[in-house]
Amino acid sequence: MSLNPFAAARLLWNHWQAGTKIDALPAALQPADRLEGHAVQGLLPEVGGRQVVGWKIAATSTVGQAHIGVGGPLAGRLLSGQVDADGATQSLRGNGMRVAEPEFAFCFGVDLPPRHAAYTADEVLAAVATLHPALEVPDSRFADFVHAGEAQLLADNACAHRFVLGATAPDGWRALDLRTHRVSARVDAHGVCRLTREGDGSAVLGDPRRALTWLVNELSSLGIGVAAGQFVTTGTCMVPLEIGPGDRVVADHGVLGGVSVQFID
């Protein structure tokens, strides 16, 4: 029986909106490989009545890839209605992962359409308008996402869930070495700091700009372009922060600014 990607996307979307989990997609709806996983993911905006406002990269470190059993990074869509501004309040109801990930996000000023030749890092960065501190709050529709497999995780939108896009960083960001740029974060529980963590851009495929270029070329190979106004968040630059209701996460990207989010049940 051939895959029905629309039915698979609709099932995943319904569980996403209900905050419920499944063990796996039914056999008839399971993508067999990366291409079928992307085909399911590509229908999520249609079944949900949403627009693609940005893109994410999951598993940008070898540790992250090993954790979920994939051979490389995974691309996912960030959809309208799932993105908030700095200082937002988000509910954790139905979220099984319960982590927050400080990231670097790049907003594009011009389109990068799909093409046969790979984009160079210089071409990709020339198309970027702004850089933003960001926080991703991922989740999966699979109860055991660690063993769901690459194809199902791609269908599940690379564990995209909620996102916080910080304010525009100062123009001088282009002169910085983002590989070594430090980011610190803390988790306050009801006003008391209970967790601090640090990281840098080297955790993101060695360099957030490399991850950004990978994403553009990954989409291009699938016949998908990145549009002006869309942003790409390039993956966590530290070990994800464990969170719960009542927590407030604050990420400090130094001279690039900061971003925060408050969590409720």
| 68-87: pLDDT as tens digits | 989 899 999 999 999 999 99
Which pLDDT score is estimated for 143? 96
The residue written with tokens 């927050």 in the block is 100
CA distance linking residue 135 with residue 139, whole number of Å: 13
Query: Is residue 67 predicted with pLDDT exceeding 90?
Result: no
**In percent, how much of the chain has pLDDT > 90?**
94
Q: Per residue in 131-170, pLDDT tens?
A: 999 999 999 999 999 999 999 999 999 999 999 999 999 9
Say which residue the tokens 């009801």 belong to: 190
User: Looking up tokens 């960083």, which residue turns up?
Assistant: 169
1 pLDDT band (50/70/90 cuts)?
A: very low
Give pLDDT, residue 6. 97
User: Can you give the pLDDT at residue 258?
Assistant: 98
Q: What is the mean pLDDT of the chain?
A: 97
- What pLDDT score was predicted for residue 62? 84
Flag whether pLDDT at 37 surpasses 90.
yes
**pLDDT (tens digit per residue) in 242-253:** 999 999 999 999
What is the number of alpha carbons within 13 Å of residue 234 lying toward its C-beta? 26
pLDDT value at residue 88: 98
In whole angstroms, give the CA distance from residue 56 to residue 41: 13
User: What are the structural domains, with CATH classification, of the chain?
Assistant: 51-264 (3.90.850.10)
Stretch 174-201: mean pLDDT: 97
Contact 241, 103 (CB under 8 A): no
Closest by alpha carbon to 103, among 160, 45, 153, 39? 160
Cα separation, 9 vs 61, in Å, equals: 27
Which pLDDT score is estimated for 55?
98
Of 259, 81, 236, give the one whose Cα is nearest residue 158: 236
Give the pLDDT confidence score for residue 71 in this predicted structure: 87
For 87-140, what is each residue's pLDDT tens digit? 999 999 999 999 999 999 999 999 999 999 999 999 999 999 999 999 999 999
Residue 257: its pLDDT value, please? 98
pLDDT of 264 higher than 80? yes
The phi, psi pair for 64, rounded to 5°, reads: -65, -40
Find residue 251's DSSP bridge partners.
Answer: 185, 259
pLDDT band at 2 (very low <50, low <70, confident <90, very high): confident
